[in-house]
A and B are shown apart, each in its own frame.
Chain A
Amino acid sequence: MSTPVSPSDWRAAGRWRWPEGLLWLLAFALPALWPGHALIVNEIAIVALFAVSLDLVLGYTGIVTLGHAAFLGFGAYCAALFAKHIHPDPVLGLAVGVVAATLLGALCSLTILRGSDLTRLMVTLGVALLLLELANKLDGLTGGSDGLQGVVMGPVLGRFEFDLYGQTAAWYSLSVLLLLFALARRWVHSPWGATLMAVRDNPLRAAAIGISVPQRLAAVYTLAAGVAGAAGALLAQTTGFASLDVFALERSADAVLMLVIGGVGWLYGGVLGAVVFKLLHDLISAWTPQYWTFWMGLFLVVLMLVGRERLSPARWWRARGEGA
């Protein structure tokens, strides 16, 4: 009596398709084709990873935050300190940054379990400010407002030295982005990921079908913190530097902007948003260095009023069932 569920449908949403493969190939080819722009590719890969991490929290689970930079910054400082004092190996340092940020995320997740969106906004903002001030005060360890300097990294996997043009850095960051993007994609298309969306859509009903809402909030916040920590570690390692601005409100706010530009609750939204945001930033500030925020602001107002749906390819992409 029942119609069988057609196989070419929603379950295919999590599968990789060839246009995506091409996009990633292009991304990996850019530092070689265009060595002068390897540094910006590296930068974009890092902020894209940070935006993807925020999407898990904000887009998929609906946890409103303005303090996601807490984990970016913590990952950055931990990786930088590890490289400076313990071992210069990048992959080892990356792991240290991820583990440290994950632990911090687990601790901070206790602060976002209760309260309204406004409560969460303020609490997350507060935690990031707290860490910023701590990093400022503990100048013996962190270098305070001068930043943590003199971070010298070893070669990636003992083979690929970081070069002046940033080619190695770009490939390293892109590889980590791809790896964690694939992992995040697995998460959001799993039964577990669906329960996150249930929590976002309707926490009351989510509890009424047996989902422990606090447990889901804590789990996704912790995991996303780890991903943000990876972005932070990459930032510190590829620039050889960690400064207080990694904890700054602008970092968190920029990531929210990128998600809004690219589309929330859609992993490529973070990547797309990062690309558009960084390119706009570069283009506008090359053209009018002092007033780039004016144009960025104008772009945002137009985007929100006209509607992202009508401007971005996200809708078109999704309508064809190729959503990530």
Chain B
Amino acid sequence: MSETVLQAQGLVKRFGGITATDHVNLSLQRGARHALIGPNGAGKTTLINLLTGVLAPTEGRIALLGRDISDLPAHARVARGLVRTFQINQLFASMSPLQTLAMVVSQQRGLGGRWWQRLGQDAAVMARCEALLALFRLTEVMHQNTAALPYGKRRLLEMAIALACEPKVLLLDEPVAGVPAGEREELLHTVANLPADVSVLLIEHDMDLVFEFARRITVLVNGAVLTEGTPEQIARDPQVKAVYLGHGEELRA
């Protein structure tokens, strides 16, 4: 029944003498709601960078939907459905949210090479943009300059861009980091309402969000997988408690 969509085997990344990722095995099932947790410096973002092709692994293989993607550049992995968001917003400062999404949706639909059409001329592309703007509550700011948007809106746009890529596997790198309390709910709501067939790997420090969202949790410590299990198993795991010593009260049983 469950089909593995993303599989990493024996991933190792060394920067000089430092091993940032240490023989990590990770697999995501279709429709997974998987969280990756671990203390600061555990190598969570490095792992995302390896999976998405921003960094090349020292060792190990990565398969997406049964095909080896280890040697594909980042943009080719996106075309196959592996999409990420960034911990620090990576937006297109000179464009408005609408232009940004029109560009991303066009690119996703294979129209990114069209030089003879006007951006926004394609009705299907614009319909998708309108739906995304509404979903992420960006409709009222769609013509504003991205650089001038409030932080919460920029964070929403960060996620809207990723969804515009129509991901099969979505890697969310601390999606609510730095979002003010009032705007957090919007984001949590959209994270919770992601399409059921999209597999999601969530990196998050906020344990409330992790335990609310995840059906499986992997704990990363010093670049290696400490343990993996259901939220109940993780919450009870004495090793995990030891790692999070001092934050223990955040782990609800």
Contact = CB atoms under 8 A, between A and B. Distances in A.
Contacts of B235: none
Contacts of A191: 102-103, 106-107, 111-114, 117, 119
Given A190-B114, A190-B118, A208-B84, A10 B107 contact: no
Contacts of A194: 95, 99, 102-103, 106, 119
A9 B107 contact: no
A197 B92 contact: yes
A210 B131 contact: no
A25 interface: no
Contacts of B117: 190-191
Contact of A5 (B112, B118, B140, B142): B142
Contact of A201 (B79, B83, B93): B93
Contacts of B198: none
Contact of A10 (B75, B91, B120): B120
Given A5-B98, A204-B54, A205-B90, A210 B108 contact: yes
A189 interface: yes
Nearest to A190: B115
A265 interface: yes
Interface string A199-214: 0111011011111110
A5 B114 contact: no
Contact of B130 (A5, A193, A200): A5
A116 interface: no
Given A194-B102, A197-B92, A197-B95, A205 B161 contact: yes
A281 interface: no
Contacts of A187: 115
Nearest to B79: A210
A204 B90 contact: yes
Contacts of A11: 118-121
B116 interface: yes
Contacts of B98: 5, 10
Nearest to A265: B94
Nearest to B147: A201
A194 B92 CA distance: 10
Interface string A205-239: 10111111100000000000000000000000000
B139 interface: yes
Given A190-B118, A190-B119, A205 B91 contact: yes
Interface residues of B, number: 51
Contact of A207 (B74, B114, B139, B161): B74
Contacts of B116: 186, 190
Interface string A1-42: 111110001110010000000000000000000000000000
A11 B83 CA distance: 28
Nearest to B113: A192
B52 interface: yes
Contact of A208 (B83, B95, B102, B114): B83
A192 B103 CA distance: 8
Contact of A9 (B92, B139, B143): B143
B133 interface: yes
- Chain A interface mostly: helix
Interface residues of A, number: 33
A197 to B, nearest CB: 6
Contacts of B140: 3
A166 B125 CA distance: 48
A198 interface: yes
B131 A201 contact: no
Given A2-B131, A201-B94, A210 B143 contact: no
B133 A209 contact: no
B118 A207 contact: no
Contacts of B131: 2
A2 B139 contact: yes
B161 A195 contact: no
Contacts of A201: 91-95
Contacts of A186: 115-116
Contacts of A198: 92, 95, 100, 103
12 contacts: A5-B126, A10-B120, A186-B116, A189-B118, A190-B117, A198-B95, A208-B74, A208-B78, A210-B112, A210-B165, A211-B107, A265-B94
The 6 closest A-B pairs by CB, nearest first: A210-B78, A191-B106, A194-B103, A205-B90, A2-B134, A201-B92
Interface of B: 52, 54, 73-76, 78-79, 83-84, 86, 90-96, 98-100, 102-104, 106-108, 111-121, 126, 129-131, 133-134, 139-140, 142-143, 161, 164-165
Given A190-B115, A208-B75, A209-B108, 7 more contacts: A3-B139, A5-B130, A189-B118, A202-B90, A205-B91, A207-B75, A208-B74
